[in-house]
Amino acid sequence: MPDRIDPARLRALDRAHVWHPYGPMPGRQEPLVVESASGVRLRLAEPAHGRTELVDGMSSWWSAVHGYNHPVLNEAARDQLDRMSHVMFGGLTHEPAVRLATRLVEITPEPLQHVFLADSGSVSVEVAVKMCLQYWRSAGRPAKRRLLTWRGGYHGDTWQPMSVCDPEGGMHELWSGSLPRQVFADAPPDGFDAEPDEAYARHLRELVTSHADELAAVIVEPVVQGAGGMRFHSPAYLRVLREACDEHDVLLVFDEIATGFGRTGQLFAAGHAGVSPDVMCVGKALTGGYLTLAATLCTSRVAEGISSGDVPVLAHGPTFMGNPLASAVACASVDLLLGQDWELEVKRIGAGLRRGLAEAAGVPGVRDVRVLGAIGVVQLDHEVDMAAATRAAVREGVWLRPFRDLVYTMPPYVTGDDDVARICRAVCAAAKEG
């Protein structure tokens, strides 16, 4: 083992050499140095605002649903490590990938039968888009190669996913000329429980109808738009999209990378609407936050369509496709989730968030407070002061990562009631001081 680098030196090297998400170089904000993590707690290498331990309110961006250093997931990783950490997927296969793909087919909506294992969420969206474009190319309709989505979405940071992110938040202006130009509907009206807006449903139908000849697919995040703005909408619009797509020969893609594995109160958010997509992406919580892995699932119709074309293969194959270590941990994580009453845990956390965030509604500068599943959001009427909000949360002993006008949390499902209450105090403090 190399000698440990002391935290101050580590921060200096970090600033000098290491990019962080959406960051400048050299970095302007001092990141906290995490030394280890266990359960729902991150242990810091040096105290910050009097704290050396922080309760994680972010699940490391939706992924660590079982918390950190989980004995079952550790065991799965160790066991697989002793067999092989990786082996190429071209011409070879192995039990972890086959087991995982089979499991995913079992637990996702019935028509989804085939699985492409990708190495990150963005890549799984690229693969989903490639599947749809290639499907229509094989069907002799190559003009169907554009995508339709609604504003306010987020689908990842590589080029095709970026092209369907919210045009403003996604900075499409900056990339005009480089990004594929997609068709944008207005953002869905707010409110999971809101009465569906018939005018908006008509707007969706009209756009699908008028662009049908050039549309390969509609791609949306079902029910919760995550990194595009943490907004919730009525599942009824997913049914509208399903019907319009069926009527006009357009494929439907659900990006469940954030919403999958129980976060919204259904195992997959599509379950709220009772509709199934032609193609679906999962990622983030797939490995319980242990390793990078995502998957694109499709129906037999899509797979057979692609395979009957003049290029009868899906032309994609990442080096680390089907990584055995990640696949083995993913299998263990899915089993761990389904082996417990996860619905009850998500409901329990949702109730705790509702209770604890209620007081934020009265805070000056707060525009909206909303909770769905195990997701809690406080929206401000101004851009959050990230440094001040982070400091306020850390003082409460909680890790949060606000963005734009949002202070939000999606705790690990194993977070106890006292820790949920603590997270809520931190969100309220961050909303006040941010």
Residues catalogued as catalytic: 22, 154, 255, 284
Binding range to ligand PLP, per CB under 6 A, among 100-108, 150-158, 181-189, 261-269: 150-158
The answer to whether residue 291 forms part of the interface with ligand PLP (CB under 6 A) is no
Smallest distance, ligand PLP to C-beta of residue 113, A: 22
Residues 207, 184: Cα–Cα separation, whole Å: 9
Q: DSSP assignment of 347-376, as one string?
A: HHHHHHHHHHHGGGGGSTTEEEEEEETTEE
Contact between 244 and ligand PLP per CB under 6 A: no
Whichever of 230 and 431 has its CB closer to ligand PLP, that residue is 230
- Tokens representing 141 are 């309709």
Query: Which residues lie below 8 Å from residue 368, measured CB to CB, with a gap of 6+?
Result: 377, 378, 379
Task: Output the smallest distance, CB 166 to ligand PLP, in A.
Answer: 12
Quick one: DSSP state of residue 4? P
Please count the helices (runs of H) and the strands (runs of E) in the chain: 15, 16
Element of type H or E holding 74: helix 71-83
Is 125 one of the binding residues for ligand PLP (CB under 6 A)?
A: yes
Query: Closest Cα partner for 406 from 371, 367, 350?
Result: 367
Contact map string, positions 95 to 124, toward ligand PLP, x by CB under 6 A: -------------------------xxx--
- Which residue, 229 or 434, has its beta carbon nearer to ligand PLP? 229
Please report which residue ranges of 4-55 form alpha helices under DSSP H.
Answer: 7-17
253 binds ligand PLP (CB under 6 A): no
Backbone angles phi, psi at 171, to 5 degrees: 55, 45
> Would you give the DSSP letter of residue 306?
H
Q: Which among 370, 335, 379, 355 is positioned nearest to 223, based on CA atoms?
A: 370
Interface with ligand PLP includes 11 (CB under 6 A)? no
**Closest residue to ligand PLP, based on beta-carbon distance:** 121
What is the bridge-based pairing of β-strands 224-225 and 231-232? antiparallel
Q: Does the footprint of ligand PLP cover residue 324 (CB under 6 A)?
A: no
Question: Based on CB atoms, which residue is closest to ligand PLP, 114 or 263?
Answer: 263
> Using N-to-C axis directions, what is the helix angle for 342-357 and 417-433, rounded to 10°?
40
3-state secondary structure of 150: strand
Is position 218 an interface residue for ligand PLP (rule: CB under 6 A)? no
Q: Are 389 and 407 in contact (CB under 8 A)?
A: yes
Q: Which stretch binds ligand PLP (CB under 6 A): 32-40, 148-156, 233-241, 414-422?
A: 148-156
Distance (Å, whole) CA 371 – CA 350: 7
What 3-state class would DSSP assign to 281? strand
CB 53 within 8 A of CB 41: yes
CB of 327 to ligand PLP, least distance (A): 16
Query: What is the longest distance spanned by two Cα atoms in the chain?
Result: 64
**Please, what is the minimum distance in Å from the beta carbon of residue 101 to ligand PLP?**
19
Euclidean distance between the first and final Cα of the chain, in Å?
41
Q: Which of 57, 229, 235, 283 binds ligand PLP (CB under 6 A)?
A: 283
For ligand PLP, the closer of residues 322 and 356 by Cβ is: 322
Among residues 156, 222, 322, 376, which is the contact residue for ligand PLP, using CB under 6 A?
156
Structure tokens at 29: 């904000």
Query: Should residue 257 be labelled a site residue for ligand PLP when binding is judged by CB under 6 A?
Result: yes
Q: Closer to ligand PLP by CB, 115 or 294: give it.
A: 294
CA 147 to chain centre: 20
Site for ligand PLP (CB under 6 A): which residue of 58, 115, 258, 410? 258
Nearest distance in Å: CB 125, ligand PLP: 6
Choice from 255, 278, 345, 396 touching ligand PLP (CB under 6 A): 255
Which one of residues 89, 135, 154, 232 is an interface residue with ligand PLP (CB under 6 A)?
Answer: 154
Residue whose CB is less far from ligand PLP, 165 or 251: 165
Residue 41 or 62 with smaller CB distance to ligand PLP: 62
Q: Which two tokens stand for residue 255?
A: 């990006």
Q: Which is nearer to ligand PLP, 138 or 379 (CB)?
A: 379
Which of residues 275 and 392 has its CB atom nearest to ligand PLP in the complex? 275
Q: Among all chains, which residue has been given the structure tokens 């990584």?
A: 323
Rounded to a whole number of angstroms, the minimum distance from the CB of residue 418 to ligand PLP is: 28
| Of the residues 11, 70, 114, 155, which one makes contact with ligand PLP according to CB under 6 A | 155
Per DSSP, the residues of 370-409 read EEETTEEEEEESS---HHHHHHHHHHTTEE---BTTEEEE
Q: Which amino acid is at 402?
A: P
Choosing from 201, 219, 227, 273, the residue that interacts with ligand PLP (CB under 6 A) is: 227
Which stretches of the chain bind ligand PLP, using CB under 6 A?
A: 120-122, 125, 154-156, 221, 226-227, 255, 257-258, 283-284, 294
